[in-house]
Amino acid sequence: MKLVPVHISNFKLDGGAMFGVVPKTLWQKQYPSDDNNLCSWASRSVLFDNGKQRILVDNGWGDKQDEKFFSFVQLHGGFGLEGALGKYGYQPEDITDMVITHLHSDHCGGGVKNSSTGTGFEMVFPNANYWVSRQQWEWAMNPNKREADAYLDENMLPMHESGQLKFIEDDIELYPGFRVRLFNGHTAGQIIPFINYLGKTVVFMADLIPSTAHIRTVWNMSYDVQPLVTLKEKERFLEEAYENDYILFFQHDVYNECCSIDKAKKGYRVRETFTLEEYFGNS
């Protein structure tokens, strides 16, 4: 059994967008920005190998779009998708299941690539089921104006056309040791995986809590379509995480891979930060 981080790349986004109504004078202390108000964020996935299934969660931006598209997100650092998998001895053909938390471009773009024939697209993981919540899929097929630019046909339609797309209808144990739950504040039907590994529960936070700075319950992204729902979801989750001593694995925190949670009078806070390797060793 293995659980490994897959550091695909870093990218840049506007700090104000990532912290919503929180004043810059506050978030800047936690997450510094450059002269253009841009902060660096990680595109980090996780691979769970239970001995039978090899499950990858999210796959980054991909490389299908043109130079102008990527000029806005300024990809830098990381190992690339195949390089990050190869670091642990895996190839795309080894992946049995591709779980996509939601269909925003930075989470699913790496699952589809330009065809080697020069026309059309093909799947990066030819032997994998591509899991998406039905709620998110239907939402993405008819997007609202706020999210429309984040849902790209070339990232989504080839999944359906390939026959590899599978739907998750509700909270479920998808495979032994790998449960998923649905959250709706950031976008409809966002999947949050709960992974049972060596006696601990590791939670892949996706965009429910994108970084340690967002553990404060009112520090939320302007991208959230239902911010008050996000607030309630975070409050319930953080209490559960504290009571059960969950490990939070951050997809977007460029500084911290994981943390544990503590509780104080003013709310929840980071108890300790660490990497999966530091916590579990080379298990």
* pLDDT tier at 223, thresholds 50, 70, 90: very high
Who contacts 47 (Cβ-Cβ below 8 Å, separation ≥6)? Answer: 2, 3, 4, 6, 54, 55, 56, 57, 85, 88, 90, 95
What is the tens place of the pLDDT at every residue in 89-124?
Answer: 999 999 999 999 999 999 999 999 999 887 899 999
| Position with higher pLDDT, 90 vs 66 | 90
Q: How does DSSP classify residue 88? A: T
| pLDDT tens digits, one per residue of 172-209 | 999 999 999 999 999 999 999 999 999 999 999 999 99
Q: Are 38 and 13 in contact (CB under 8 A)?
A: yes
What integer is the mean pLDDT of 122-138? 98
Tell me how far CA of residue 198 lies from CA of 1, 138, 187, 247, 281, in angstroms: 9, 36, 31, 12, 11
The reported pTM is 0.96
Looking at the predicted structure, is the pLDDT value of residue 221 above 80? yes
Output the pLDDT for position 78.
94
Q: Which one is predicted more confidently, 280 or 119?
A: 280
Q: Where are the domains of the chain?
A: 2-280
8 Å CB contact between 71 and 98: no
Residue 172 confidence (pLDDT): 97
Mean pLDDT (the chain, rounded): 96
In the predicted structure, residue 283 carries a pLDDT above the cut 80: no
User: Which CATH number does 2-280 carry?
Assistant: 3.60.15.10
Q: Which helix (H) or strand (E) holds 30?
A: helix 24-30
**How far are the Cα atoms of 21, 221, 241, 247 from residue 218, in angstroms, in the given order?**
9, 9, 17, 21
| Measured distance CA(84)–CA(277) in Å, rounded | 15
